[in-house]
Amino acid sequence: MRRALRSSMLVLTAACAVVLAGCGGDPVDNSLASTGWPGAHADARNSNTSPGTGSRDVSFAWSRPLGGPVSTTPSIAPNGQISLTARTERGCNLFSFQSDSERKRWCTRLSDGATASTPVSDSVANIYIGDEGAMNSYNEYGQLRWRTPVSGTPLSAQFTADGNLLFVTHLGNIHVLDTQNGRPVLPAFQMIPPPNVDGTDGDLLPNDAGLDECFLGTAACPVAHTPAIDLASGRFFVTFFRPGSPATELVAIDYVEGDSPRIAPAWASDVLPGGAASSPVVSADGTRVYVNDREGRLWALDAETGAPQWNYDLGYVAAAAPSVSDDGLLVVAGGEEGRLLAVRDAGDSAELAWERDDVLQLGVPAQSAGETGYTVIRDGDDGLALLTFDTGDGSTLDQTVLPDALGFSTGTAIGPKGEVVVPSFLGELFVLR
């Protein structure tokens, strides 16, 4: 393993050559979209919230079968273009749809590793999506802009405050690329230190090694979740299964901008029982970072020091990161026995804001302005419905059946015109307006 990682390091050094396709024109800072749902958890801090005022009366608009399971959330560009991946056996596995016209704009096929990520959209509908051994960028028409080789498989990326693309591969390699051309802004940073040079070499670690273990959170997949960034400070947070550790840690790392940009580790916390079970979420003021553990608790840690501030027993293991509003309301994601509940950060403790025992939540909540939230719940014996609820008290505002949907949903996204987009794990995309 150590020798293989050393080989991966050498490949990273050699992989600075970037494949360019159609990168002409004057550079523009187009990375930080202010509307839509640009990333896996909406924004850089993974808040799962939308600044727009959400509709309290939505209706089913259209759906599309994708031909394979969906394990991530769609992203939505400011122009309403929806991008997502599906694990198909043949044909396309990366899709783009236009929300208003209900038409598929384009699709293409990448390696299976692409289906572990949400395509990240910028303000002009370029998307950025990793697959096994590379990060790729496509324009809104599906034309490849560039492809940059890396070691491992990039998970869902984020934009930095200075307009670059930051991502961590599942093998623990941190990259920052220029969004215009895919060139590295700084050398790749390896979270797993390379072994000492001993004059020997080993087999190259495959770019998909352990990728199937990311869902299970084992040591074979050192980094399994989307990083969260505090844009004001440049500090980002990532879950990390350090070699030899019994469980996943939460790690804080600083991205220092300027003429000589660099990556600088800040702190690491191993307080989470069973390890981290979700992507981290940064509070709106940048002082807290929230994460679920694998024993059914939601944690708040001090973003500056990593010191635990409180933990709250949910009674079940949440399947995804919570939705965190600007004023500190955390609506918790569903799980195998997931209820719909919200807690409020009260400083040194968490207070239950409200709880719904009458619904089984089988999705990931999203909050919008106007105290409106959305998530997928069980409908009848085995169907699914989108629940629109009041985030102030959890009460039902609307409930819309997702036709013929089964299983559970892997995410909820809110578009620039208030459209709500949810995929089912079994492979269908639903849009409601």
Q: What is the pLDDT of residues 94-121, one digit of tens each?
A: 999 999 989 999 999 999 999 999 999 9
Which domains does the chain show, CATH number per domain?
2-23+39-432 (2.130.10.10)
The pTM (predicted TM-score) of the whole model is 0.92
- Rounded to whole angstroms, the Cα distance separating 73 from 44 reads 15
Helix, strand, coil fractions of the chain, as percent rounded to 5: 5, 40, 55
Q: What is the pLDDT of residues 219-246, one digit of tens each?
A: 999 999 999 999 999 999 999 999 999 9
3-state secondary structure of 363: coil
Closest CA to 229 of 153, 298, 174, 281: 281
Helix (H) or strand (E) holding 413: strand 413-414
Residue 29 in this model has a pLDDT that exceeds 80: no
pLDDT attached to residue 378: 97
Lowest model confidence (mean pLDDT) among 130-139, 211-220, 261-270 = 211-220
Outline where DSSP puts E strands in 191-285: 228-229, 235-240, 249-256, 262-269, 281-282
- Is there a contact between 304 and 332 (Cβ–Cβ < 8 Å)? no
The Cβ-side half-sphere exposure at 53, using a 13 Å CA radius, reads 2
Residue that the structure tokens 């490849």 belong to: 144
Closest CA to 255 of 185, 303, 181: 185
Task: Report the range out of 24-38, 195-209, 310-324 with the highest average pLDDT.
Answer: 310-324
Residue 8 in this model has a pLDDT that exceeds 90: no
